[in-house]
Amino acid sequence: MRARIVVLLAALLAAGAACRSPAPVLVRVDMPGVSPFPAGSFTEIIVTNFRNETPLPDVDAGLEMQTTLAADLHHAFRGTVSLRPLPAAAPPPSFWRAAGAGRDRAVFLTGSVRLASQVRKAVKDRNVPVDSPFKIAGRVLIERRRWTLFVDLVVISGESGEVLYSKSFREDRDYIELDKPADFAFSDLSSGFRTRLFSVLFGTPTIEERALLRR
């Protein structure tokens, strides 16, 4: 009788395993970039500091965005890359026309940026010491700090002073270290933003993750 019960349990476990869907497989895929700007639309890119309404004491995201963007553009763009400070008040089109006067097919990269973080909690299965205060029926409460970078980008014509393109970007990253410095997080997040931005400006391909479902 006991042998029959063991065989029956084994059969039920095998049937359950067969019915369970296999975990998806993550693959990295090269995605072609699509740019709204025809080739040769601009020969100079002027980068301003980005407006930052909620600055953090550890990092000036608006100024750092200008610096890192210009540095990467020097490598990715064959034309001229220049810097210009952004006025305190929102400038009118006449400001951009005056700043772009005498420049051949120049565009301005400008906008606003915000870097923020929050501690997120989750309950996950994990082997923890028996006397752990977070031991909950074989599960553990973990904390992670999520840093988020918000960028509202605007591309402005140096000839007309009008907006040629605008888009909002968001980058998120979770860290196990709750005291992860803001400047370190900004470096990680702004790198992902620049990759997506260059795909827009120059049509460069991006590498994205896709989940393949197995049968």
Taking 60 as the threshold, does the pLDDT of residue 40 lie above it?
yes
For residue 136, the model assigns a pLDDT of 54
Measuring CA to CA, how many Å separate 51 from each of 64, 70, 111, 115, 186? Answer: 11, 16, 6, 12, 15
Q: Can you tell me the mean pLDDT for 152-163?
A: 96
For residue 122, the model assigns a pLDDT of 74
At 208, is the pLDDT very low, low, confident or very high (cuts 50, 70, 90)? Answer: low
Angle between helices 182-202 and 61-76 (to 10 degrees): 40
Residues 6+ apart with CB under 8 A from 124: 139, 140, 142
Report d(CA 80, CA 91) in Å as an integer.
23
Q: What percent of the chain has pLDDT over 90?
A: 58
Mean pLDDT of the chain: 83
User: Can you give the pTM of this predicted structure?
Assistant: 0.73
- Which has the minimum average pLDDT: 15-29, 66-80, 164-178? 15-29
Taking 90 as the threshold, does the pLDDT of residue 19 lie above it?
no
> What angle (nearest 5°) sits at the alpha carbon of residue 68, between those of residues 65 and 73?
115
Residues 6+ apart with CB under 8 A from 71: none
Q: What is the pLDDT of residues 88-129, one digit of tens each?
A: 888 999 999 999 999 999 999 999 999 999 998 877 665 555
Phi, psi of 121 (to 5 degrees): -115, 145
| List of domains in the chain | 35-115+149-202 (3.30.160.180)
For residue 204, the model assigns a pLDDT of 73
Token output for 43: 């020969």
